[in-house]
Amino acid sequence: MTKSSSNISSLILKLLFLVIMAFTVAGLAKLYSYFKVGAEKTDLISTVQQDKGIHDPTYNWDISNIKEGVILDEYTRQEVQDAYTYAWYILNTSIGSQKNLGLEDRFSKKMIDKIEKAFKTSNDYNIERVELNHTINVHLFSYDRQIISFSDNQVKLYTSNTQAESGHTNLTKNIANYDVVMGLEDGYWKIFDLIQLESPSIESKTENLSLEKVELADKIRGINYYPSDNPWFDFWKNYNTKTVAKDIELLKNLNFNHTRIFIPYELFGKGSLDKKMLTHLDDYLQQCKEQNISVTLSLFDFPESYKIPFYSATHKHLLQLLDRYQDHPAVSIWDIKNEPDLDFASYGQEVVVNWLEFIIDEAKEKAPNINLTIGWSKVDYIEILADKLDLQSFHLYGDIDLHQTHLQKLKKEEKIIRPLYLSEFGQTTFRSKFLPFGSTEKQQAIFTRNVLNFMAQENIDHYAYWTLHDFKKAPKEIIGWKPWIRSAQENMGLITRAGTKKITSKNFTEGEYKFEELTFLDKLKPSYFILAFLLAMFFLVFYKSK
């Protein structure tokens, strides 16, 4: 072997080593992420006091029955409320772990003994529990301001029992009433006594609800919306009312009568909604109302977790949005969660579906006349919880025939029981110069036409195209670091970054627009020629080396 050949071999080995190490690090990172999807219970306890996003139940106080002359000021009431919330969190987490996880911080010794006696010794089940609300009726606040006695009524308790062997989870909801005594001990408010009173369990109220809902357009011709310069989180962070006004006028001129927008859970404040974000949403909905454009609100975009300890914060988030917008004339559809099936691998299907059902039940109880759906990423999942929803929604990217075959199968099995809503479909116009994928504007237009034909064949009356604009930049923290994926996401709009309409817009403005079929040259991509050239060079070098 010559010295030159030896150097080349050494270089190849070094490159292979670097590639292997890169994949190993990536694999370890994914493994670490997998095991850290759910934080340890002790980790959650250490952060709950600082982050109300984990456990944040709603409160309703009645202090009208306190003895005259004893004032429960706002500061003390907030102190008691924070201590009581934290006490419940420690109680629920200790019950779940079947061991004391800091009960002494918020309970008297007498109460701790009482709680520990209730711990089960069996490891057959993993228990998780959370309460959603507290309705406090204060009976006594002592003259020395050291003791407070109150009743806590109609507390909603969700409990999950997961079988250790099978992994099957049973989620139950109950209503409970309590008599409570709290006192100051070493400068901290602690629970001295917590007595559960007899109260009946309750069943979900969503069964057999009237289907007289908020009125929908006969045919929703919708589009998913972000501004071109500020997609995803930046839409809300850099909200611009003039840009929104211009875009609503644009989409209206393209014959759309509906928009679908996303409410990022953490950005909007989790359990305590951010006033600035709400002001932006108010403006957007008002502009849609003025232009007679209806809206799908897609909730809980990028939630923290689907696990039981997070139920109270997501519940509070939901209630506040419903209080503010359930009667808004522009809001016609509430999409509980966008593509929750993509989280099945991380959390488990049962955990995600339990959370979805919980949110649906609470939403229906609060606002029974709203239209609810779930935006599944594939048609495969639209039968899940369909009996509790008002529309069955799915997304379509890729093979139309495959989706149609599956949909027809579900229809034969009588699993399509609600109107269908195709809440996302589209195709990129990104065309890689180096890799063998991508499509042209003409291919995008023909794909869109074929999807519209598919909807006509399958009686799908409602849709929302993805998306109005090409984006200036797709954020790495959402789309990922891979440039070919980000580039594809940046080029899926009807309107280019230069502001010109793509060919596919004619599908919506000119009805049955006839596009010329793709030729052989249309289907060829620059990368094919590059690959052909590289292969030819490889075989030439290989042949000469012989």
Is residue 343 within 8 Å of 375, Cβ to Cβ? no
pLDDT of residue 6: 56
d(CA 432, CA 414) in angstroms, rounded, equals 42
For the question of whether the overall pTM of this predicted structure is more than 0.85, the answer is no
pLDDT of residue 205: 42
Domains and CATH numbers, the chain: 58-197 (3.10.450.240), 221-510 (3.20.20.80)
For β-strands 462-465 and 125-131, DSSP reports them as: unpaired
Which residue, among 355, 352, 348, 350, has the nearest Cα to 340 in the 3D structure?
352
pLDDT of residue 53: 62
Q: How far is CA 314 from CA 57, 121, 382, 478, 531, in A?
A: 9, 32, 23, 21, 50
∠ CA 440-515-426, rounded to 5°: 50
Is residue 440 within 8 Å of 480, Cβ to Cβ? no
d(CA 535, CA 516) in angstroms, rounded, equals 33
d(CA 54, CA 44) in angstroms, rounded, equals 8
d(CA 157, CA 443) in angstroms, rounded, equals 53
pLDDT of residue 207: 42
Residue 234 has which token pair? 């930046």
pLDDT of residue 39: 39
Which residue, among 484, 475, 497, has the nearest Cα to 527 in the 3D structure?
484
∠ CA 73-79-84, rounded to 5°: 125
pLDDT of residue 365: 94
pLDDT tens-digit map of 123-158 = 666 788 899 999 999 999 998 899 999 999 999 999
Cis peptide before 500 (omega within 30 of 0): no
Is residue 138 within 8 Å of 65, Cβ to Cβ? yes
Q: Which helix (H) or strand (E) holds 361?
A: helix 349-366
Q: Which residues fall within 8 angstroms of residue 347, CB to CB, at 6 or more apart?
A: 37, 38, 305, 306, 307
Q: What is the pLDDT along the chain (546 residues), one digit of tens a residue?
A: 555 555 555 666 656 656 666 655 555 444 334 333 333 444 444 444 445 568 899 999 999 888 766 888 999 999 999 999 999 999 998 988 888 888 999 999 999 999 888 776 656 667 888 999 999 999 999 988 999 999 999 999 998 887 766 767 788 889 999 999 999 998 899 999 999 987 654 544 444 344 455 667 679 999 999 999 999 999 999 999 999 999 999 999 999 999 999 999 999 999 999 999 999 999 999 999 999 999 999 999 999 899 988 999 999 999 999 999 999 999 999 999 999 999 999 999 999 999 999 999 999 999 999 999 999 999 999 999 999 999 999 999 989 999 999 999 999 999 999 999 999 999 998 876 555 566 789 999 999 999 999 999 999 999 999 999 999 888 888 777 777 778 888 888 999 999 999 999 999 998 655 555 655 455 555 555 555 556 666 666 666 665
